Amino acid sequence: MHPILITIIQRLLLGLLTLFFVSIIIFSSIEFLPGDFTQAILGQAATEETVAAFRRELGLDQPAYIRYFDWIGAVLQGDFGSSFSGRNSSGVDRSRAVIDLVAPRLGNTLFLAGMAAIVSIPLSLILGITAALYRNSIYDRSVNALTLTTISFPEFFLAYLLILFFSSLWPVFPSLANVNIDTSLGERIYKCVLPALTLTLVIVAHMMRMTRAALINLLASPYIEMSQLKGISKAKVILRHALPNAWAPIATVIAFNLAYLVVGVVVVEVVFVYPGIGQLMVDSVTTRDIPVVQACVLIFATTYILLNLTADIIGIVTNPRLLHPK
């Protein structure tokens, strides 16, 4: 079997094992959340018998390990359970399937992340390549200073600055990204400009600086020096010789930042009141809706692991030592 295929299979198995341990951490962490859903619904005046009956109805009276295996077994079959939010103390059950709650919110989050990625990835590559091409110039120093400034600010601070300048002082874009299923594509893009710009400003700095560092590191290689001695222009040296060999670290940092776009949007969604999966998770933690919280966190963890696996695989298949084993 080819070394690349063996390495990819090993990475996939390691990813599955990581996801298994992450699921245990997710379930255990939610178990330690303060408060009790049944007590919150029934109130402080509820008797112990009423609370016990309600917990039995929800399945919360079972030992933790039994509930974990029931939950993970159902997840493997595509069933995330039912939300607690539709249940009440009168015995009426209007709960919805978790997947029905999560699916539209996940679509909104992916749309917002896609908007940011479409702008940030090409922009960061262009800035990184040109900064490496004109290293130590005024342009390089200006780009580095600008990216260091944006990377130093937390997301919520950048979000509030954008709201201040582009919604209050200069009202161009709305401060609330309150979209729904009936919102047209053009209006959705318009309302998502500020949250997408916030994410773009944060991740462009990471990707640009990583691209620049990877190219500068390769420019010191002997084969690059030989190309320069042959009289090849610096632009051709970077684009034809250095950049193809820098794809592995660049792909890694892009994958990390794409994972951040999906996983790290929680703060941005809360600031702009955007109906994404991050906002849903925050609301579910507040109401102690355990099945929804578990589903949201598991989706975040799976996305992060899959994107990191993708980066590993890209790094493997672009490794000349594995492509051409002796």
β partners of residue 93: 87
* Interval 166-177: pLDDT, tens: 988 898 998 888
Dmax (CA) for the chain in angstroms is: 87
Cα–Cα distance between 228 and 235 in angstroms, integer?
10
Q: CA Rg, the chain, in Å?
A: 24
The model carries a pTM of 0.80
Can you name the CATH fold of 100-323? MetI-like fold (1.10.3720)
Are 179 and 115 a contacting pair, CB within 8 Å? no
* Interval 167-213: pLDDT, tens: 888 989 988 888 888 888 889 999 999 999 998 888 888 888 888 88
- Mean of pLDDT values over 221-230: 73
Give the model's confidence band at 163: pLDDT under 50 very low, under 70 low, under 90 confident, else very high: very high
Residue type, 215: L
Q: How far apart are the first and last CA of the chain?
A: 14
- Mean of pLDDT values over 274-278: 89
Lowest mean per-residue pLDDT among 144-153, 158-167, 258-267, 298-307: 258-267
Domain parsing of the chain, residue ranges? 100-323
